[in-house]
Homo-oligomer: A and B are copies of this chain.
Amino acid sequence: MNATIHDVAEAAGVSPSTVSRAFTMPDLLRADTRERVLAAAKRLGYQPNRAARGLITGRTGNIGVIVPDLSNPFFPAVLKGAQARARESDYAVFLADAEEDPVLEEELIRAMAKQVDGVVICSARASATALTSMARDAELVLLNRQVSGVPAILMDSAGGARQAVDHLAALGHQRLAYLNGPSSSWSNKARRRGLKTRSAALGLEVVDLGPFPPTFEGGLMAADLSLAAKVTAVLAYNDLVALGVLSRLGDRSVEVPKDVSVVGFDDIPMAQMSAPSLTTVAMPSERAGRLAVDVLSGRIGDQLREQDAAARHALPTSLIVRSSTAPPPRATRRRSE
């Protein structure tokens, strides 16, 4: 049904090898032969059969992307970046949703490994040992997860947390809560670390709550605990949680930002749609997706091979101040004097 390399060869009056070369190593052919072949190919609508090619080259031309949860808008964003870049490099992208389940995640990686040239794993939930072991059989790139010996694209979550703390401190807050995300999340650790060190340096009190599911529902749950903790500001693991907090506080008629300030992470589109709009730490998600693909396609692989380079490579994040943060209420401030 589909034109093969032989059909093109015959049409152009050359051998199949020549047709093959016209596509994969065009400069080996004399200009006019190449023309002729390409013309014939176009006329017949020929496109190389990827399976046959893959069989012999051992490469598939595919890359895989695994995300913990497609319904968190953060991941479609990196997916979008990855997908766009992949297309430029003539890669197709496989997608899988691990449903926040480390076991399923590992299973998916193994299954995918066979049919792709590499897989980018977003916010991996699997264990470090599992990841290390799988990295031996397949080309892996981690995104927002650091595992020794595995190349990674990182975002400066800790730095973002520091900016958030600075912002809240400048507003006059003294006591804040951090709403933890999944404990297997590298981002969560980084965010907490950044928060803790900066708070300590500035003499702020911080209370650790959670872990909560990294979802809107998680935020609903977290809101009441935050209130009970008598803090004037809340740093949520991500925007989804922050929005949950906003919503629940609204229901309990606690005013944001008058009574309590709320900060999120990720800057998902929703963050600017909420009322009040959400102060949050923006993550370069699409860019990270693109970079991850670049690593796989070998474009920038070498710098990232060594772990140290990766660490240094953390992509910058930046606080976006919107309407969910303000100075703490007077009453509270007085009490703490």
- A residues contacting B by CB (< 8 A) are 2, 47, 49-52, 54-55, 60, 62, 65, 70-71, 73, 75-77, 79-80, 83-84, 87, 92-97, 112, 114-115, 216, 243-244, 246-247, 250, 269-270, 272-275
Contact = CB atoms under 8 A, between A and B. Distances in A.
Nearest to A82: B95
A65 B76 CA distance: 14
Nearest to A51: B54
A199 to B, nearest CB: 28
A96 B83 contact: yes
A114 B50 contact: yes
A106 to B, nearest CB: 14
Contacts of A55: 49, 51-52, 55
Copies of this protein, total: 2
A50 B112 CA distance: 11
A247 B275 contact: yes
A80 B92 contact: no
B273 A216 contact: yes
Contact of A94 (B79, B93, B270): B93
A219 to B, nearest CB: 9
Contacts of A50: 51, 114-115
A275 B275 contact: yes
Contacts of A274: 273-275
B94 A94 contact: yes
Contact of A275 (B70, B250, B269): B250
A290 to B, nearest CB: 13
Nearest to A250: B275
Interface centre among A76, A94, A112, A243 (most CB of B within 10 A): A76
